[in-house]
Structure 1
Amino acid sequence: MTTNHAQPAIAVTGLRKAYGDHVVLDGLDLNVGRGTVYSLLGANGAGKTTTVKILSTLINADAGNARVAGYDLSGEPDAVRAAIGVTGQFSAVDNLLTGAENLRMMADLNHLGRTEGKRRVAELLDQFDLVDAAGKPASSYSGGMRRRLDLAMTLVGDPRVIFLDEPTTGLDPRSRRSMWQIVRGLVADGVTIFLTTQYLEEADELADRIGVLDHGSLVAEGTADELKRRIPGGHVRLRFADAHGLDAATRALGTLSAEDDALALRVPSDGSLRSLKALIDRLDERGIEVDELSVHTPDLDDVFLSLTGNPKHTRSENSQNEKVTTR
């Protein structure tokens, strides 16, 4: 079967999975564009890993339809397997083998010829900065090196859709950012990434679209910015050089939240460009000088809490406050 590049990389309708009376997925619908990163967020037990297992043909769904890389999940499972790669929460690296040997094993499993296999192994060792460690046993690798090798093994067969299930769990911030750069490079080459993660900053950094899964159902979907705008609490902070500017802005903008001894006001805002432009135009029309303006929006932690009601599992490493301009 020839795949149609106009089709989505993953299309899911009404996916259901239950174990006895426990419903894990309850009519899940998904649509993932080709060459994008789609991140599925949810607490432990929300159904993220079950979704990955179904879409990667590891387990069967009870009901629903899905196409992955243009192939029907139930009718063409072998074609699906040939088109995808999976990197799970736990590394598939063989500690007794060297990095190069792990990759050569995957080349053999993908039925690459000797010449093609050698070329692919050399290419991936270079791409993942593992050339110097290629002859060392994987047991000696750091956590970041093992995850890079694990992903490199996934790529031996040149998959067009990759499922990354909690790919940076346990990595230090530097190694995590190294993995992010690798993911961005894969997407730039046209690969589709389906990412599950509990690092909310990771989804914010990488995902073109985000789905929030709660008790087996998709409760929200959109870009990170779209999801953040759904949550109340966003505002623009205006700071003035003197009390005269503060008083003028208060009269022009109405009753606002003032910050004691800070010569600053908080103006409720959804963070959109339209609302920001309207605020700036209003100040400019009255000749009010602003010393500093910053936009404060809810972060994905706030989104996660609001939509799922579950405790936070992580905090973003960086504040989501964005300084827009300073005069």
Structure 2
Amino acid sequence: MSTAPPAVEASALTKTYPGKVTALDGLSLTVRPGTVFGLLGPNGAGKSTTVKILTTLARPDSGSATVAGHDVLRHPDRVRRAIGVVAQRSGADPVATGRENLLLQGRLYGLRGARLTARVQELLDRFALADAAARPVKTYSGGMQRRLDVALGLVHRPEVLFLDEPTTGLDPEARTAMWEEIGRLAGDEGLTIVLTTHYLEEADRLAERIAIVDRGRVVTTGTPDGLKAELRGDTVQVELYEAPGEVDARLLATALGEFAGIREVTLDGRRLSARADDGGVAVPAVLAVLQREGARAASVTVARPSLDDVYLRHAGRRFADADSVPALAGGAR
């Protein structure tokens, strides 16, 4: 039995912007057809640059990529006909109505007459925009605009839909509604969705497989549950009253690592993290070491592995810390 070719495949993509800013540093990934694939990473990790290359809006300095079986450099026109793109910023005309935007998008892809009219009405109904179809888009709420953006990307029934940070800027209610809609899209036969996000919960909830991107590279890939399962046991996190000095931090990490069942000890300022076979058993031992070394604990938490823990293991820093670094601060976009 033959295996279907990848819907998206990228190999060793590199991209450097003026000022020697490295956006991509040998990024590679493979997306199976009919799946939701998440590119998860902090702001500035290289996700948007990857999408720009895969959607023919930018050229890599080196490397190769295919989308829907078409080479993005040799056959960009074929790629564009096969994809839908929902960018971070809305592409809808704010003065035109929702229906007018959809009609124009359909005409750009060669749809005409009754076929176009039926497709536009189908999308207006599907995305709960029928009642607002005659209103200018500038009167839409943020959630309505994002639903229209997704509808615009689907007018021509693409093989691959790119959603670049689709819920950024939405309030919690609108974000949840968009998650539900993306979940329904995932059930469309044959549609492949490539989702970029810097929300851990979004990737965990929506993506069948994820690639964690950091500093322009894919540091690990797999299913969310599979990646978390690789981290055996529990996560123990301790918030200290004071950050230890460099020497004290090394001594503390060494002392904790001597206990059976405690491993992967990291110290970042006042935050101590460790993996433990049994978090409940490990906590008293951790507190005893802290007391012996003169470090005071302000709080202790025990939790099952999360994607944040996966990121820490493979990128060497907490996701929130990486996400707080401004884009282009010597790294990717």
- Class of the TM-score when normalised by the shorter of the 2 chains: 0.7 to 0.9
Q: 1:85 to 1:313 in 2, by over 3 A?
A: farther
* Cα offsets for 1:206-235 (capped at 9, x unmatched): 011111111111111111112223446527
Aligned counterparts, 1:129-168, within 5 A? 129-168=128-167
- 2:100 equivalent in structure 1: 101
- 2:5 equivalent in structure 1: 7
SS of residue matched to 1:40:
strand
Which gives a bigger RCO, structure 1 or 2 (Cα 8 Å, sep 6+)? 2
Please tell me whether the aligned partners of residues 308 and 318 of structure 2 are also in contact (alpha carbons under 8 angstroms).
Answer: no
SS of residue matched to 1:11:
strand
- Distance in 2 of aligned mates of 1:91 and 1:205: 24
Aligned alpha-carbon RMSD (Å):
2.7
Q: Of 300, 310, 314, which aligns to 2:307?
A: 300
Please tell me whether the aligned partners of residues 45 and 216 of structure 2 are also in contact (alpha carbons under 8 angstroms).
Answer: yes
Letter matched to residue 197 of structure 1 = T
Q: Using structure 2 for the length normalisation, give the TM-score.
A: 0.73
CA displacement at 1:313 relative to structure 2? 6.8
Aligned counterparts, 1:270-289, within 5 A? none
- Distance in 2 of aligned mates of 1:127 and 1:314: 37
Q: 1:71 to 1:311 in 2, by over 3 A?
A: closer
26-35 vs 176-185, greater mean Cα deviation: 176-185
Please tell me whether the aligned partners of residues 162 and 193 of structure 2 are also in contact (alpha carbons under 8 angstroms).
Answer: yes
- 1:44 equivalent in structure 2: 43
* Cα offsets for 1:33-84 (capped at 9, x unmatched): 0111111111222111000000000011111111101111111111100000
Q: What percentage of aligned pairs have identical amino acids?
A: 50
* Cα offsets for 1:303-324 (capped at 9, x unmatched): 2334332550799xxxxxxxxx
* Cα offsets for 1:3-31 (capped at 9, x unmatched): x9811100111111112432211111111
SS of residue matched to 1:59:
coil
Aligned counterparts, 1:191-206, within 5 A? 191-206=191-206
Please tell me whether the aligned partners of residues 229 and 297 of structure 1 are also in contact (alpha carbons under 8 angstroms).
Answer: no
Please tell me whether the aligned partners of residues 308 and 319 of structure 2 are also in contact (alpha carbons under 8 angstroms).
Answer: no
- Distance in 2 of aligned mates of 1:43 and 1:121: 35
Aligned counterparts, 1:15-30, within 5 A? 15-20=13-18, 21-30=20-29
In the alignment, is residue 268 of structure 1 matched against residue 267 of structure 2? no
Q: 1:176 to 1:314 in 2, by over 3 A?
A: farther
How many residues are treated as equivalent by the alignment? 262
- 1:119 equivalent in structure 2: 118
SS of residue matched to 2:60:
coil
- Distance in 2 of aligned mates of 1:38 and 1:269: 32
SS of residue matched to 1:132:
helix
- 1:68 equivalent in structure 2: 67
SS of residue matched to 1:148:
helix
* Cα offsets for 1:165-198 (capped at 9, x unmatched): 1000111222212212222222211211111111
What are structure 2's unaligned runs of at least 5 residues? Answer: 236-259, 263-275, 280-301, 324-333
- Distance in 1 of aligned mates of 2:72 and 2:261: 55
What are structure 1's unaligned runs of at least 5 residues? Answer: 236-254, 258-266, 271-294, 316-327
SS of residue matched to 1:28:
strand
Please tell me whether the aligned partners of residues 88 and 165 of structure 1 are also in contact (alpha carbons under 8 angstroms).
Answer: yes
Letter matched to residue 57 of structure 1 = T
Q: Using structure 1 for the length normalisation, give the TM-score.
A: 0.74
Q: 1:256 to 1:166 in 2, by over 3 A?
A: closer
Aligned counterparts, 1:219-230, within 5 A? 219-230=219-230
- 1:34 equivalent in structure 2: 33
Letter matched to residue 40 of structure 1 = L
Q: 1:68 to 1:150 in 2, by over 3 A?
A: same
CA displacement at 1:152 relative to structure 2? 0.4
